[in-house]
Structure 1
């Protein structure tokens, strides 16, 4: 029976009471702030008032705290982070829970993440469903827990395990959480509330405040190994180092002092550029994946993939990993058999790494067929070689086979999808679905809207991308779409810098120091120089002779130096690792001499300015052309597909945070140095003003 409700804007905390068989009364407090019970100011206020009232109830034997809507508390309301923190704060709420004279049991359904898990840690026990998720993912937003997450966790698991949990930000399923000690009981096969009540009864009325328990110390060596591993993976993320410091404090300082320090650190990190950048990307991803309004996406159950090469294999595995039946076709039986064998090997590797339960089950979901065997598919993705006429013929053949509702998608990186669709009877069902290599690993997918692609087709592909665990971003047709278009400008500027005397290692070191995991020439060698060479040869007949062209990469390809797999490219790999090569240096010196370069470009600052200016300028140009929908989409694509440092929020977020005069000047200088055909984007100032309008 409900007899108490604490209402607030957007939701309420409802309290009902139940009499136990022994005559004692317990309270059941239900947090109901749709859709995920996010820890907003209104929610914190309602929960605090609830426990303040419950503490005054002298005949109460205990409290069950749960969330409505099959979710406990999904985390903090991140939109509040740009404003000053407002009372009551989450530590105030947890303090009121700990001051409550009777034990409190958290009944966890769905997600208890970040502040939601800290709320559960403020309870005296935790009971969860098997499907529940717990964790402290604050580092993924450039933060650390701010309401006792580091301290209370280290009272349940040892300090090394706490470092791993907090610095990885990973979500932990209920059964693993039980084995770790993060939850007390997993309720399987019965009502969660009844399981929580049984746990409450077993406590005999005793409180168990985690902040008052002793820290569980890991061995000194294990703790340091965990810290060093976390710092290596952090790649400059300040939050990881701060989280480690907070965990150290939790072991040596009085609890209240450690909690105060943790809170102050969390609030300070909110104001710093890294957290602002990561929060920008968080909201940018949500915006990118949003479905078109008033459109119900068609269901896609059976998928076909045409092309059993490396990309087709990866696409097939990506679908099979998520439980889809995949029909795979190749033009010749030998190629199909090779593709299926490679998929089997990939499945074995995934099983060995613990990423899938069964290699045989995944392999069984991928079935080799002829093209005619794809008639039942809801979606067919072509992943054949980049030849327009061959692709158009394939589309015509597929359209004759498939139902009118089925979608035909191309994985092309550059070719004109409007032209591909022009020969079809139903061009509205044709779109691009551009996966990134390796397709089963890379999260980014460009969903390309052709001129006649319908909203329902786009909605279906966006929804599919989300089901695959991917990050789909809508683009319009244009050479290279969003990512490859910008990457081509980046590559071009890298080559200009070579002709001005910079060496590959100079450029790579400069961009690594900016935050890229790999320098551009390391990336070129890893991907293979032959791919870009083929692209340059394809475009050669239409290249304007007035435009600047650097042929050093062509010379390397003519020498069969195609990159790492060939043993040599921009670097020499004879030793097994990338080594600067005198032959490459000589080619660069000759090109610089021919250009009349007297003072070679060498400084890190100059290299960074030139390359970043090229990226930002090209982004503004494609936004002006409508290839990307919004500036934040560009940031998502570059951060998730091309290695732009996430700690800087993507190129446009980074540029918007710089002094405007410096950004405009660097782009003007880049254009002047580049020669004919490179112009500063006229819409650049407008784009930078719109960056954070997500």
Structure 2
């Protein structure tokens, strides 16, 4: 039975249990390492050392887990004492055994605390990780030195460089924990393990007492390989190579000096602009789900979903919904089309089985929730229907007329359109309050972004339902207003125009792609066009031709390429050549000849563009249209634009998104660029009134993310 109770701090409670002092971390919701928690842990170690009747200290977390990492409320603020390295070093230096009892998340600094303890026991639900790299940081409280000593060089670096979470069984096999306990009470497991250790007279084991590697030369060779691989994979990221550097220093330096060096490198990461971009992305992803409708209304219940269309997009949506545990009914126009749709879905699960990521039994269980029909009547009892048919408003209106006829009252009717007017679709049926846009990105079962497009007549609970569905599908939802292209594709149209202008004015498409990749994108715009299919953009251009401003410059190069049937990877050539079905394209001399001919037709005298100027124009077009989208209320805040581009368009995460990037280089500089380019084309390069207003007021986009601050 527990004896006397005391409080080491408000966030760490201590009580005696026989010869043990038990310290329980209580900082809801996730026991983040606030200054109070750090202080409480330090006081608990001191109390255990000072009490002659205490023989060991047990550390456990209350509620959801052990410690989920740093307290995000302290990000960007001066650190209050004690520092986490000080706490971890004091735990490790304790003359009495310290046992960490882990359940739920033990992440980042939480795992560093656990590694500083002398023994670790975990419940089966424990998740261990050092995910600091995802925020542009690195472990800074001993993680780069203790993890390799406990689990070996390669596994430790994999954990730190990937940022992934490790389950309890894997952690046991790696040596990161000493034992897995049964049951659901971490504190009780920790107490029992401590009593066992005392009874068996187990000697204290400090990670710092072990060498980082037994064979130093072999370790150097391994680190050299990992460094080369990391440089290639991280594509210019700052913190991953700092992690490798910190580990490598541990081969030569005494443990205490290696810890000091780790902290020095950690502080370099703190000062890196990449850290600011990644932290912004972290917070923006959490903020973006806070839409007005989710606060005003409760979502409708959704257990069954209908999907209209079994092509690439429809099948991907069906897989995403099935993966969320919901039932799916697919509707196609005829039996052969339905069979192809079913095959498209089954192909995904067959691939998972072949790769060993799913059992045949699990595949069968998922597909048991998947049905199909060639008649809309099969959707009469469905809670939510997603239309994913051809991008033609009359075709979509015809689908919605059928849904209006057969679906039950209160069913949510969603369209997956990429561009079309959802207000017009909603107005064509008798229940516009139930109509919403769910713009998935292909492949829909993999891409994280989901634009939730909110038409004027939709009910708030339908919007809330869409956000709840996104959560079930593990998507990142962004609320968008109705306009041509919504947030992402509307802005894409502008910066793609800027890229086309660059090519007609003298840059090659290969120059543009290379400059954009060097900026941090995985692919350039012309590579993306070839991957998506040039015919998609061509169809959009033809659809908008009648309403195009006759004064606007129109580059016809892409049309000339499409007229030849060159649509990209699927046809073996587009902007690039793809011989024998190759995934990576090679430059095409015939495309360059088409470009030269178009320049002559348009009377353009080509000139050279540096990579820096290409990026300036590309980003200025993106940022300027992003400002317009915010000004018009199509995006609620600049951060909604950032999240859209981080998750749907490959924008480099370490830059935080286009609006965060604009803040980082200065809005005055962006505006000056736009005004410079406007001397060539004042119609295209019209500065957004919002951008002008912010520069005039000395404010930035981030000030609009937190208007109440």
User: TM > 0.5 between the two?
Assistant: yes
Shift, 1:224, TM fit: 3.9
Is residue 547 from structure 1 mapped to residue 552 from structure 2 by the alignment? yes
Query: Does the C-alpha gap of structure 1 residues 389 and 612 become closer, same or farther in structure 2, counting only changes over 3 Å?
Result: same
Change (3 A) 1:230 1:598: same
**Structure 2 residue 109 is matched with structure 1 residue 127:** no
Q: In structure 2, what is the equivalent of residue 22 of structure 1?
A: none
Structure 1 pair 88–410 and aligned structure 2 pair: CA distance change class (3 A): same
Please tell me whether residue 50 in structure 1 is matched to residue 44 in structure 2.
yes
Which deviates more, 399-408 or 464-473?
Answer: 399-408
Q: For 2:7 and 2:265, how far apart are their aligned partners in 1? A: 31
Alignment partner of 1:106: what SS?
A: strand
Of the candidates 635, 645, 659, which is equivalent to residue 642 of structure 2?
A: 635
Q: Which of 342, 366, 370 is matched with 1:366 structurally?
A: 370
- Contact persistence 1:613–1:670 (CA under 8 A): no
1:189 Cα offset (Å): 4.0
Deviation at 1:360, TM superposition (A): 3.2
Relative to 1, partners in 2 of residues 1:414 and 1:634: Cα closer, same or farther, differing over 3 Å? same
Matches within 5 A, 1:241-640: 241-290=241-290, 292-357=294-359, 358-369=362-373, 370-574=375-579, 576=582, 577-640=584-647
Q: CA deviation at 1:122?
A: 1.5
Q: Is the Cα–Cα contact under 8 Å of residues 38 and 87 in structure 2 kept in the other structure?
A: yes
Unpaired segments ≥5 residues, structure 1: 20-24
Note if contact 1:347-1:360 (Cα within 8 Å) is conserved in structure 2.
no
Q: Aligned with 1:328: secondary structure?
A: strand
Inter-partner Cα distance in structure 1 for 2:634 and 2:126:
40
Query: Could you list the per-position Cα deviations for residues 508-555 of structure 1 after superposition, in whole angstroms to 9, with x for gaps in the alignment?
Result: 111112111111111111111000000111111111211111111111
| Unpaired stretches in structure 2, ≥5 consecutive residues | none
Match of 1:34 in 2: 28
TM superposition shift of 1:223: 4.3
CA–CA distance in 1 between the matches of 2:358 and 2:196? Answer: 37
Q: 2:145 aligned with 1:145, yes or no?
A: no
The residue number in structure 1 matching 2:94 is 100
Q: Which residue of 1 aligns with 2:7?
A: 6
Aligned-partner Cα distance in 1 for 2:257–2:301: 54
Could you tell me how far 1:454 is from its partner in structure 2?
2.3
Cα distance in 2, alignment partners of residues 571 and 670 from structure 1: 29
Does the 8 Å CA contact 1:110/1:133 hold for their aligned counterparts?
yes
1:177 aligns with 2:171: yes
Seen in structure 2, the aligned counterparts of structure 1 residues 654 and 190 have a Cα distance that, compared at 3 Å, is closer
* Alignment match, 1:59: 53
CA contact (8 A) 2:13 2:24 kept: yes
Q: CA deviation at 1:685?
A: 4.6
Shift of residue 2 of structure 1? 6.7
CA contact (8 A) 2:439 2:451 kept: yes
* Structure 1 residue 163, shift from structure 2 partner: 1.3
Residues 513-522 or 287-296, more deviating: 287-296
Aligned counterpart, 1:654: 661
1:616 and 1:454 map into 2 onto residues whose CA distance is 31
2:700 is equivalent to residue 689 of structure 1? yes
TM-score by length of 1: 0.95
Query: Counterparts of 2:96 and 2:404 in 1: how far apart (Å)?
Result: 67
The answer to whether the Cα contact below 8 Å between 1:2 and 1:14 also exists between their aligned partners in 2 is no
Give the match's secondary structure for 2:50: coil
CA distance in 2, matches of 1:506, 1:68: 55
Query: Does the CA contact (< 8 Å) of 1:159 and 1:217 recur in 2?
Result: no
Question: Hey, what's the Cα distance between the residues in 2 that align with 1:130 and 1:428?
Answer: 46
Runs of 4+ in 1 over 6 A off after TM superposition: none
Deviates more, 1:163-172 or 1:293-302: 293-302
Cα displacement (A) at 1:412: 0.6
CA 1:674–1:128 in 2, change beyond 3 Å: closer, same or farther?
farther
The equivalent residue for 1:669 is 676
CA drift at 1:386: 1.2
SS of the residue 2:680 aligns to: helix
- Residue matched to 2:207: 210
The 2-side partners of 1:271 and 1:349 are apart by: 43
**CA distance in structure 2 between the partners assigned to 1:321 and 1:252 by the alignment:** 48
1:536 and 1:563 map into 2 onto residues whose CA distance is 17
In 1, are the aligned partners of 2:118 and 2:205 still within 8 Å (CA)? yes
Residues 686 and 16 (structure 1), Cα distance of their counterparts in 2 relative to 1, 3 Å cut = farther
2: CA distance between counterparts of 1:454 and 1:41?
A: 44
Partners in 2 of 1:386 and 1:344 — Cα distance?
25
**1:497–1:50: structure 2 CA closer, same or farther, 3 Å change rule?**
same
Structure 2 contact 8–43 (Cα < 8 Å) conserved: no
Cα displacement (A) at 1:96: 2.5
Aligned to 1:75: 69
- State the 1:89 CA deviation: 0.5
In 2, Cα distance between the equivalents of 1:607 and 1:26? 65
Residues 415-442 of structure 1, C-alpha deviation per residue, up to 9 Å, x if partnerless? 1111111133332222111110001111
Q: For residues 351 and 278 of structure 1, what CA distance do their matches in structure 2 show?
A: 35
* Greater Cα shift, 672-681 or 339-348: 672-681
For this pair of structures, how many residues does the alignment match?
Answer: 687
The CA distance in 1 between the partners of 2:470 and 2:285, in whole Å, is: 12
Secondary structure of the structure 1 residue equivalent to 2:141? coil
State the distance in 2 between where 1:610 and 1:423 align.
41
Distance 1:217 1:569, change over 3 A: farther
CA contact (8 A) 2:659 2:701 kept: no
SS in 2 for 1:203: helix
Q: After superposition, what is the alpha-carbon deviation per residue over 1:628-672, rounded to whole angstroms, capped at 9, x for unaligned? A: 000011111111111111111111111111144321111123344
Contact 1:493 1:614 in 2 (8 A): yes
- Corresponding residue number in structure 2 for 1:233: 233
Q: TM-score, normalised by structure 2?
A: 0.93
Q: Partners in 2 of 1:671 and 1:638 — Cα distance?
A: 25
Give, in whole Å, the separation in 2 of the partners of 1:450 and 1:520: 30
Q: d(CA) in 1 for partners of 2:606 and 2:387?
A: 49
Q: Is the 8 A contact 1:134 1:172 kept in 2?
A: yes
Q: Return the offset for 1:675.
A: 4.8
Q: Distance in 1 between matches of 2:484 and 2:356?
A: 39
